Chain A
Amino acid sequence: MRPFGFERPETLERAAGIVAAREDRAAPPPLSSAQFIAGGTNMADYMKLGVMRPNLLVDIGRLADPGLRRIAASPDGIRLGALVRMSEAEENADIRIGYPVIAESLQQAASQQIRNMASLGGNILQRTRCEYFRDISWACNKRDPGSGCAAMDGFNRQHAVLGVSDRCIATYHGDFAQALIALDASVETQSPRGGRTMAFSELHRLPGETPHVETQLMADELITLIDIPAKPWARRSHYLKIRDRQSYAFAVASVAVVLDLEDGAVRDVRIALGGLATVPWRAQEAEDELKGGPLDERTAGRAAEAAFAGAMPREHNAFKISLGRQALVRALLETRDMRV
């Protein structure tokens, strides 16, 4: 492992300030010389592999601000501090009852040990990646911009079919993010320039020409809060995850659905897809297909067709299109049949 320095500030202001003071503060966060570490489950893994190479780690695990560790439910919604652990959110009664899609997405992610360490902020920001990215002997535009992409003509069974570019086809692997897209969440950030709020759906960037730039964040910008509005659909919400094995595996395809039904008709619906796309993916075409009509196998099937109309498979991952469609149909019908 490359040598690195380590700082453990107690205030947000100081944590952001340390990074802001670096000459390369305008670099995208994962390429910056100073980077944050929270639970460390993504960062430590990639530092050991030489994939992440900060020379200064800023540990945010002991920041004193209590809001960062709080789950605050109110009639307006629920606010989750960025340092809340995945396991804490998963077990929280307000989340389990009011926002089941969140609890389900977290419960099926990683292992209990990892969920006990990992923060919600770190989970959202886990690297979008593939096996070639992990191994520094392969070309990878994301790890080493401009070096090429070993996955294009390599083994690309795990790779994305939606949102791909000719530079990168790596899948966004997180589960929780799909729940956040479906629930229309937003994130609050802090940096030395102040605070800002953005729709969660705008946080991640498509790979395009610059797959090494994964989010809108600056290197010195910390996520502080995740804000989820209380909407009529939140209780009737569900996460379906399809994996190669039943537990402790990333999604091959996953679907988050939130549904507002009135007399059997779809008043509103939001759908996010995981394991299939380069970013947490909102399937808006599928939503449009369903709005105002009944939800049954036929209409769900039409929505699933619409969701994958723009899919771009490579040699080994075309199966994800039919798998993804079937997962979407199943998730929609299971959500419809939930008793809330």
Chain B
Amino acid sequence: MTADASSVSTPWMALRDTDRPAEPATRPDTVVAVDFIVNGKPCRLELDPRTTLLDALRDHVGLTGTKKGCDHGQCGACTVIVNGRRTLSCLSFAQMNDRDEITTVEGLASDGRLHPVQQAFIDHDAFQCGYCTPGQIMSAIGCISEGHAETDADIREYMSGNICRCAAYPNIVAAIRQARDEMERA
């Protein structure tokens, strides 16, 4: 091994007594306070430390648009936008999102007008049962704003984290194409 523990000395790394908490600051049986901004509104929650961002949004904020499919990062149904990036709310403990800005599907429409991606999903009938749809829509917004929706092949590749059991894929691609053009014009 080329590891070399002795030659690099970092005095600041020396252990101090203050680094030795007898107990974790957050005890397992306590409730923790978490602050986020959800769809532009500040909100403070008191949560069991185990609560995921997904469960916090659905069960504590009361926004049930974000869906739980697999709860293990495999399906994309729980996709929300955190600080401008699409992420999976089921794989984040809510405490990790303290002070983050979160957008859910409920935060998209403004002044009674649907977001172009929402409208495009309706125009193209881009769903059947609709369970995956909020996640598809949030992911599509990310996909377009990242510049990953230039070609159909790109759309398919960069939307592959969103599974649709009803296999509405061709219509989802068509919807994203329409929304992309509209968002680029705007």
Give residues in A with beta carbon < 8 Å to B.
1, 3-8, 12-14, 16-18, 20-21, 34, 37, 39-41, 44-45, 48-49, 55-57, 59, 61, 87, 110-114, 116-117, 186, 190-199, 202, 216, 247-248
Looking at A20, A40, A112, A248, the one whose CB has the most chain B CB atoms below 10 A away is A112
Q: Which residues in A have their C-beta under 8 angstroms from that of B86?
A: 112-113, 116
Chain B, range 15-36, C-beta contacts under 8 Å to A: 15-16, 19-21, 23-29, 32
Q: Which residues in A have their C-beta under 8 angstroms from that of B92?
A: 40, 44, 117
| Apart from the given pairs A5-B49, A39-B91, A117-B92, 15 other A-B contacts in the complex at a CB distance below 8 Å | A13-B12, A18-B21, A40-B92, A40-B96, A44-B52, A44-B91, A44-B92, A48-B71, A112-B161, A114-B91, A116-B86, A191-B13, A197-B4, A216-B3, A247-B160
A199 B87 Cβ-Cβ under 8 A: no
Which A residue sits closest to B79, measured CB to CB? A113
Interface string of B139-178 (1 = CB under 8 A from A): 1001100101000000011101110000000000000000
Q: What is the CB-to-nearest-CB distance from B90 to chain A, in angstroms, rounded to a whole number?
A: 8
Which A residue sits closest to B90, measured CB to CB? A44
Looking at B5, B8, B24, B72, the one whose CB has the most chain A CB atoms below 10 A away is B24
A194 B2 Cβ-Cβ under 8 A: no
Q: What is the CB-to-nearest-CB distance from A60 to chain B, in angstroms, rounded to a whole number?
A: 10
Chain B, range 78-130, C-beta contacts under 8 Å to A: 79, 85-88, 90-93, 95-96, 98
Name 29 interchain pairs, CB-CB below 8 A, sorted by A.
A3-B50, A4-B50, A5-B24, A5-B49, A6-B49, A7-B25, A13-B12, A17-B20, A18-B19, A21-B21, A34-B24, A48-B72, A57-B93, A111-B160, A112-B158, A113-B87, A113-B88, A113-B142, A114-B88, A116-B86, A117-B88, A192-B15, A192-B19, A195-B10, A197-B2, A198-B1, A198-B2, A202-B2, A248-B161
A192 B3 Cβ-Cβ under 8 A: no
| B65 on interface, CB distance cutoff 8 Å | no
B3, B16, B161: the one within 8 Å of A114 (CB) = B161
A114 B73 Cβ-Cβ under 8 A: yes
A4, A193, A196: the one within 8 Å of B28 (CB) = A4
Contacts A7-B26, A48-B72 hold; do A20 and B49 have CB atoms under 8 A apart? no
A59 B96 Cβ-Cβ under 8 A: yes
A3, A193, A248: the one within 8 Å of B160 (CB) = A248
A116 B85 Cβ-Cβ under 8 A: yes
Looking at A5, A34, A114, the one whose CB has the most chain B CB atoms below 10 A away is A5
Q: Which residues in A have their C-beta under 8 angstroms from that of B142?
A: 112-113, 116
Give residues in B with beta carbon < 8 Å to A.
1-6, 8-10, 12-16, 19-21, 23-29, 32, 49-50, 52, 71-73, 76, 79, 85-88, 90-93, 95-96, 98, 139, 142-143, 146, 148, 156-158, 160-162
A5 B26 Cβ-Cβ under 8 A: yes
Q: What is the CB-to-nearest-CB distance from A99 to chain B, in angstroms, rounded to a whole number?
A: 21
B73 A20 Cβ-Cβ under 8 A: no
- A interface secondary structure, majority: mixed
A202 B98 Cβ-Cβ under 8 A: no
CA distance A193 to B5 in the complex (A): 7
Q: Which residues in B have their C-beta under 8 angstroms from that of A202?
A: 1-3
Which B residue sits closest to A88, measured CB to CB? B85
Q: Which residues in A have their C-beta under 8 angstroms from that of B73?
A: 41, 45, 114
A44 B93 Cβ-Cβ under 8 A: yes
Contacts A7-B24, A44-B91 hold; do A112 and B2 have CB atoms under 8 A apart? no
B19 A117 Cβ-Cβ under 8 A: no
A199 B143 Cβ-Cβ under 8 A: no
CA distance A39 to B73 in the complex (A): 12
CA distance A40 to B93 in the complex (A): 8
Q: What is the CB-to-nearest-CB distance from B115 to chain A, in angstroms, rounded to a whole number?
A: 18
Q: Which residues in A have their C-beta under 8 angstroms from that of B72?
A: 45, 48-49
Q: Which residues in A have their C-beta under 8 angstroms from that of B2?
A: 186, 197-199, 202
Q: Which residues in B have their C-beta under 8 angstroms from that of A55?
A: 24, 28
A194 B93 Cβ-Cβ under 8 A: no
A110 B161 Cβ-Cβ under 8 A: yes
B16 A45 Cβ-Cβ under 8 A: no
Q: What is the CB-to-nearest-CB distance from B22 to chain A, in angstroms, rounded to a whole number?
A: 9
CA distance A127 to B96 in the complex (A): 21
Looking at A113, A196, A197, A199, the one whose CB has the most chain B CB atoms below 10 A away is A113
B14, B28, B146, B157: the one within 8 Å of A3 (CB) = B28
Q: What is the CB-to-nearest-CB distance from B98 to chain A, in angstroms, rounded to a whole number?
A: 7
A6, A44, A194: the one within 8 Å of B9 (CB) = A194
